[in-house]
Structure 1
Amino acid sequence: LKKYNIPRDRVVILSKCFGPVDEENPTFGLFTQNQFPAIDYYNSQGLSRKHIFDAVQNSQRRLGTYIDVLQIHRLDPTTPKKEIMKALNDVVDQGYARYIGASSMKAVEFAELQYIAHANNWHKFISMQNYYNLIYREEEREMIPFCQKNELGEVGIIPWSPIARGILARPVGKESENKRDIKDKGITRLHLNELTKPEEEIIGRIQTLAKKYNVSMAALATSWVIGKKCNPIVGLSSVDRVDDILTATTIQLTEEDVKFLEDPYVANAAMF
């Protein structure tokens, strides 16, 4: 922002808290923490009041500016929900963040957190960052309906991985150019390393419609998510990818297109 003299109010900065961070140890992270003594990081993770404030203050220091939306990366089962919501409320009241949001969890858990905030006249979540794409639509059962219509107010939906870690961006069997399917542990955690027949069929249909509209498979799959009144989070590794994904906002899928993409779907076990 400073380099290009971009006004701060022209951008929205989101940050998260939950996972452990060690600025002095670059090898430490969410996927390597089991290699280090747990006692050293006990208070450096989760959603205790202490860690929420430590995390947001450190994020603000590193950013050099305030946070527009502070999201909790996951629900911490070891911390009382009321403590979590009170701490998040105070983070907003004290000016560290303008709003709060949440990420993948059970719909009933999210609803409980919202009602705790409502009952105490605290700030409520304005966003839900959930896992949602053409081959994982379990969020349509409870989370999305709750977010889009409830007595506490609508919650914005900002799905992560709208192209399923890149799986929906290329034909079945084709390796990713950056070898992400080999390096990314999330591929296995999300069961994307062993696709089912219905999932392969959906990918084939994405490819068919992408050719019809002369767009990339990634743009086509993302346009479907946008059509569900969601604002997907996209990962961009190059300038070309920025230009490509912007076409997702211009694709006008017909009702027949949507049905064509959705028909092969078979219910999955809930991941969160």
Structure 2
Amino acid sequence: MEHLQIISEPFRDLGRALCIVTGASKGFGRTLSLQLSLLMKPGSVLILVARSIDPLESLKVEIEAVTGTWRKLEVRCVQADLQETEGVERSVQEVKEAMSGDIEHLLLINNAGSLGDISRSALSFSDPDEVNRYLALNVSSALSLTAGVFSVDRRRLSLRRTVVNISSLCARRPFKSWTLYCAGKAARDMMFSVLAQEEPEMRVLNYAPGPLDTDMQLQARSLSADLNLRRSFSSMFSSGKLLTCQESGAKLMKLLLEDQFNSGAHLDYYDL
């Protein structure tokens, strides 16, 4: 349970919270779900969203084993493909059913996403349908899910509201052959920055977790069309410079617990 030992904020918590994590079945989303479960007051609800139900059910069992019955944490699993409208609607409906007057804090972590085809250059994407399918999962769903989730119990002024966009250095810097990924991350950052301006009572954070040792990193160093990029990622892997999900997740938990960031900010793991 090394992912639990890195969190060192024993006197703080997220309150009686309703937390939603997308892309929760593996990698960073899975780690964040485990870390969040220890920071929520008894009576909280944790909603895990992903396309595959079996890994979610397995994660639910692990969370319940870690938190124990005393915490009275309700864990809900939602099988949903966020690339599809019905997947977003199913996730929002689960939030509506789980919301109660006892909930103090509504927290959404938009973690779900994909690399897209990184084996090709920008000028190869001549099919609008292909591009739109990518954007549906990586941009459109994040905005629609956020809008749906935060429409729930909107009039309750005492409800604390926080949304996290899992961002990337690619939102700020172009990477050759990563056209779709860079475009999607940049669009998401701007969407949530606008949200912070429009909704000053909400807490909005774009968090770039750094280079994580995940399946996505394996794809990056294996499939990137740009040779220099593949070499760079391979060097980071072989030299042990990739971050664990636990390390980066702990930084995000600290940010959420301290709640001192400027709403709408883009913060990188290495900024902190």
Q: TM-score, normalised by structure 1?
A: 0.35
Please state which structure has a larger fraction of its residues in helix: 2
Larger relative CO (CA 8 A, sep 6+): 1 or 2?
2
Larger Rg: 1
Please state which structure has a larger fraction of its residues in strand: 2
